[in-house]
Amino acid sequence: MRILNAAKRQKPTMSVLLHRLIGVILVPMSIVIAILIGILCWYSFQYRTILHNVTAASAFNQNFKNDVDLKMFYYVSDSAYADGKPVEEVESARDLAEQLLEQTTERDSIDSIESVRDLCLTLETRMEEIDNAESYDEGMTQLENNIYILTDLIQTYMYDYLYYESVHLSELQEEITQQIEYIIISVILLLIAVIIFIIAYVSKMTETITAPLTMLTGRVEDITQGDFEAKTPIEAEEIEIQKLSDGFEVMAGRLNNLISENKRAERRKRHAELELLQAQINPHFLYNTLDTIIWLIEADKKQESINMVSALSDFFRFCLSRGKDIISLQEEEKHVLSYLAIQKIRYQDRMDYEVNIPESLYSYAVPKLTLQPLVENSIYHGIKLQREKGVIKVEAVDMDDRIELIVRDNGAGMSEERLKEMRSVVANGDKIGFGLRTVHERMQLFFGEEYGLTISSTEGVGTTITVVIPKQKQDEKGIINA
């Protein structure tokens, strides 16, 4: 059982499954999108860098050589147009080369831009050395052999750099286009694979949910059609469905037990009613009553015999009560009065009786054949066993939400030992003391364990039997209503 419970605790909940489904959908898609974005960002970065380099290199003075050469010529020839050495132009070219060198990645481009930087440094040195020329001719020679050549090389290498970077940019564009095609194809294939995986996973998860729910629906239909037999719970992957199935089977089992118990209780009730009815129509009672009627007729006691026949007729009519299990307290009073009338004629001066049931309680419900068995018990086990005249008193007492029906006699009573025995008979359902046991059992079947009868008795003084019933009325069908 512990292993089974542990297994059940390990089953995922519906919430967990839904989160897994979201993860199955989002994680692969997020990975694909992240890879795509990463590749595009990388190519975009490369493209922007090269484009920036080309743009920056394009800012190089296209007339660099002419401007530097002319200014240096004016400077060396000491012309009126001389404006000093072109230091700023050379420094600007060198700074541009340093900047481009930091962002250049292609080897040919790096070599070209390094050459531009180095030549700018050499040009600055040669421009300083030209001041040391001792004559005009020497200065013009240095201008021809150093300055003009260096400026030409600087401009040439800068153009080479632009060429290499432009070629690389064009290649990168082609590579980006090709890579984008590959990426698109890869993304499509990956998306197809992810979609297939998602469909398979969702189908499996849907099956794990719908299959047990379908079986559970069938089980509910079986229960609605009356199949309350507890069955093995449906095995489900989800803990909610598993708990639902377990709960259905527990509920079905309890309903089945309740229905079975109710059927057994109903059978016990019907059996008790039948036994009680048979006891009231037993041959001895009938024979004795008929013998008494014959004796009255022979004694020419016409009115007494008529009264006894009428009482016997009433007795049997109230026994049947048109098939109802529940009758009014007024009808129960009439039934016990007919019985007492018969017994009064039989025993004449040996017994007397009083029945005191308030009219305010007439409409309340009571199970049929409640008082008569108690009165019979008082006659045969109390009054009949003594020589003195006995008195039987029947009364009903209003106790707010309950009614107490009391049958009291001044008969022989019972000893303490006999009283304990009778109480045990009533509580345990022994066959002896049938009338009292049946009344007690029927009270509890109709109203619950807290109702029934109690016995108190004193030997030589008498016996009192009290029946407690709820204060309820009945409808037209005889069903008790609060």
205 and 71, same structural domain?
A: yes
pLDDT of residue 3: 38
Token pair recorded at residue 446: 């109709």
Residues of the chain with pLDDT under 70: 1-10, 14, 17, 56-57, 59, 61, 227-228, 230, 234, 236-238, 248, 267, 269-288, 317-323, 429-434, 475-482
What separation, in Å, do the N-terminal and C-terminal C-alpha atoms of the chain show? 45
pLDDT of residue 185: 85
Strands 462-470 and 402-409: antiparallel
Give the alpha-carbon dihedral of 18, 20, 24, 27, to 10 degrees: 110
289 and 206, same structural domain?
A: no
**Structure pTM?**
0.48
161 and 41, same structural domain?
A: yes
How many domains, the chain? 2
State the DSSP code for 477. Answer: T
Q: Indicate whether 246 belongs to any domain.
A: no
Q: Indicate whether 234 belongs to any domain.
A: no
pLDDT of residue 434: 55
412 and 307, same structural domain?
A: yes
347 and 439, same structural domain?
A: yes
pLDDT of residue 282: 56
Q: Residue 287 belongs to a domain with what CATH number?
A: 3.30.565.10
367 and 461, same structural domain?
A: yes
Token pair recorded at residue 108: 């040919």
287 and 175, same structural domain?
A: no
pLDDT of residue 480: 54
pLDDT of residue 430: 58
313 and 178, same structural domain?
A: no
Q: Indicate whether 264 belongs to any domain.
A: no
Residue that finishes a domain, picked among 168, 189, 211: 211
285 and 179, same structural domain?
A: no
pLDDT of residue 294: 81
Q: Which domain holds residue 203?
A: 7-211
Query: Which residues does 87 contact at the CB level (< 8 Å), separation at least 6?
Result: 124, 127
Residue type, 440: H
Residue that finishes a domain, picked among 182, 211, 240: 211
285 and 205, same structural domain?
A: no
203 and 286, same structural domain?
A: no
Q: C-alpha angle 145/82/63, rounded to 5°?
A: 60
Q: Residue 199 belongs to a domain with what CATH number?
A: 1.20.120
pLDDT of residue 128: 85
Residue that finishes a domain, picked among 211, 242, 265: 211
| Residue 395 bridge partners (DSSP) | 356, 406
Return the residue matching tokens 């989160």: 19
Q: Indicate whether 421 belongs to any domain.
A: yes
189 and 290, same structural domain?
A: no
What does the alpha-carbon distance between residue 154 and residue 90 come to, in Å, rounded to a whole number?
10
Range list of H helices, 59-86:
64-77
